[in-house]
Chains A and B, each alone.
Chain A
């Protein structure tokens, strides 16, 4: 099996925030922490594009490189996870991450920065699988149940794909080849079918 990856199709994402809601609900993520969010470019302008962003489980993860306590590890499936018992909440990973994935819940009476929280690719963490401690710290372990991340599986338009990098790349490639480009993707042609071809005018015939 190849590495686990997310892929978001900007042509399909309708900014419904279903992925964000699915993630929040699945892992009971506390208020103020967003493991996943939808980013819209040129919002309000015709042709705006949205993508769903979370931890991209980088092959060469910068968060792993900068962590002073080495609390990050990578599973055999390429999922970047961390040990919350070791995390000191310094925030270096937040500065290093190009996607703004690491989140820091407000903890304590004075809003102190708590231990880092991020997308786990629904793979839990370094606690006993399906235990209460794992759920409390990292959320549900869907991968150990043979399932894929809730956000990708919940996506209504299938804009967000998650899973084996090779398989989702094939799905995306097949999709792009079938749907074409430009107005073939969305708009009048897609909604009402392709315009019928007009028969070629005969030479000399009255128009």
Chain B
């Protein structure tokens, strides 16, 4: 009888403990990660030789070239 009670108690304890391990079934959306090939930075090439400042300077001068109020006098 005692043996049966001990077994029943062990089974009940295992059942109760199993409830604690239940995982939430609500899906949490995570932002997907890029799965493709890695890309290099635009300044990592023979022209700029990984010089980010030189690349930024080149792009900025092109950028400012779009302002014709500066390019053409008397604007």
Question: Using a CB–CB distance below 8 Å, which chain A residues touch chain B?
Answer: 1, 64-65, 67, 69-73, 75-77, 81-83, 85-86, 123, 125-130, 141, 143-148, 152-153, 158, 161-164, 167-168, 171, 174-175, 178
B24 in the interface (beta carbon within 8 A): no
* B 56-75 binary contact with A (CB < 8 Å = 1; else 0): 10111011111111000001
Closest 7 CB pairs of A and B: A83-B36, A146-B58, A163-B63, A73-B34, A70-B32, A126-B37, A126-B39
Would you list which residues of chain B between 1 and 58 have a CB under 8 Å from chain A? 31-45, 47-48, 54-56, 58
A-B residue pairs in contact (CB < 8 Å), sample of 9: A83-B34, A126-B38, A163-B62, A167-B63, A168-B63, A168-B66, A171-B64, A174-B67, A178-B69
Question: Using a CB–CB distance below 8 Å, which chain B residues touch chain A?
Answer: 31-45, 47-48, 54-56, 58-60, 62-69, 75
Q: Mostly helix, strand, loop or mixed at chain B's interface?
A: loop
Q: Is the CB of B58 within 8 A of A126?
A: no
Q: Is the CB of A148 within 8 A of B36?
A: no
Q: Is the CB of A171 within 8 A of B42?
A: no
